[in-house]
Amino acid sequence: MIVPKGLNIGDTIGVVAPSDPVIGKNVEELYRAKEIVEKDGFKVKLSKRLFSNTNGYSSTAKEKADDINEMFADKEVKMIWCAKGGNNSNSVFEYLDYELIKNNPKILCGYSDSNSLENIITAKTGLITFCGTNFKTIATDETDYSYKEILKRFVEKSLELGKEKTGYVTIREGTAEGTIVGGNLNLTSGMVADKYSIDFTDKILLLEDFGYESEPVAISYYLYHMKQNKVFDKIKGLWIGNYQHESGISLEQVVLDVIGEEYSFPIIKSNNFGHTETKTVIPIGGKARIDTDLEEKVELIEKCVE
């Protein structure tokens, strides 16, 4: 794997919008986030087409990809931070310059829809990318927990995973070691086959979803799609994140219904990634070990930034 360099105070952070457009109140939120980051001594560079909404529902795929490619090519930029989530970051896949990205490795971070962008870049280039809070979210969160996790991972180069309110729980006992893939369940289930699929062999699989948008029946659909494409035959362990639905039905409840007793890999749950206030930073392509006998249940076992 390619390990990106960490951040130093004074470095430039580039902001891109690979998903939904940054419009309306999002513009004000993004500029507030910019103030927070600049107050801590970083420089912020906004991509050329950050506020574009050419299609009326987002920028064009080419516009988004051009921004991402240009940020990777920009020697001044040390980290690329996704502005917000949405629905169609997968539209950029065919326009990304993977050779350029591989030759100019740097931190790429975001969550929700941008998880598909992170996973495909890791799969195509070997660059470790990161599932962590989005840029504008540091201005809208009720606390600075998720922002501090960003600084801890990228500036301090800590391997510690966030503990506050995480509530690590064992769903199925066992130990496992592997490379991390996945993130948002909806998006990950769409990457199990065809041209832009990712390899699940011997991996630790992350899964979370947004209960406001994904009903339990949709969660079941995504999981069965993965099962029918042999994903659960390949992985070493499963790490479930946040999912809150008004029905009270939990993600682990649906997972256990889908996988039944057919698989023996360990399953753990925590509330420190995904659509939650307390987001740690998890390296996609980084190595982790699950041990359900431990209090924290999972640990990162190799450096993810230089």
Tens-digit pLDDT profile for residues 134-151: 999 999 999 999 999 999
CATH architecture of 12-154: 3-Layer(aba) Sandwich (3.40)
Asked if residue 2 has pLDDT above 90, the reply is: yes
As a dihedral over the C-alpha atoms of residue 265, residue 174, residue 158, residue 115, rounded to 10 degrees, the angle is: 20
Q: What's residue 58's pLDDT?
A: 87
Task: Quickly list H helices, the chain.
Answer: 25-39, 61-73, 98-103, 114-125, 137-140, 145-154, 185-189, 216-228, 231-234, 251-259
- Give how far Cα 207 sits from Cα of 131, 187, 211, 273, Å: 11, 10, 13, 9
Q: Which CATH class, in words, describes the domain spanning 169-300? A: alpha beta
The pair of structure tokens assigned to 84 is 């917000």
Q: Please report the DSSP string for 205-256 in residue order.
A: EEEE--TTT--HHHHHHHHHHHHHTTHHHH-SEEEE-----TT---HHHHHH
The residues of the chain that CATH labels 3.50.30.60 are 169-300
User: Rounded to an integer, what distance in angstroms lies between the CA atom of residue 222 and that of residue 255?
Assistant: 10
Reading the block at residue 275, the tokens are: 């659509």
pLDDT above 80: residue 164: no
The whole-number pLDDT of residue 166 equals 58
Residue closest to 272 by CA, chosen among 297, 300, 241, 304: 241
pLDDT value at position 91? 95
Average pLDDT rounded to a whole number, residues 6-22: 96
Instruction: Indicate if the pLDDT at residue 8 is higher than 80.
Output: yes
Please give the share of the chain, as a percent, with pLDDT higher than 90. 89
Whole-angstrom Cα distance, residue 225 to residue 202? 19
Q: Where in the chain is the domain with CATH 3.40.50.10740?
A: 12-154
Contacts of 103 (CB under 8 A, 6+ apart): none
Sign of CA dihedral 99, 129, 13, 275: positive
Burial class (CB in 10 A: 0-12, 13-18, 19+), 199: exposed
- pLDDT (tens digit, 9 = 90+) per residue, 41-94? 999 999 999 999 999 998 999 999 999 999 999 999 999 999 999 888 999 999
105 CB burial (10 A radius; 0-12, 13-18, 19+): buried
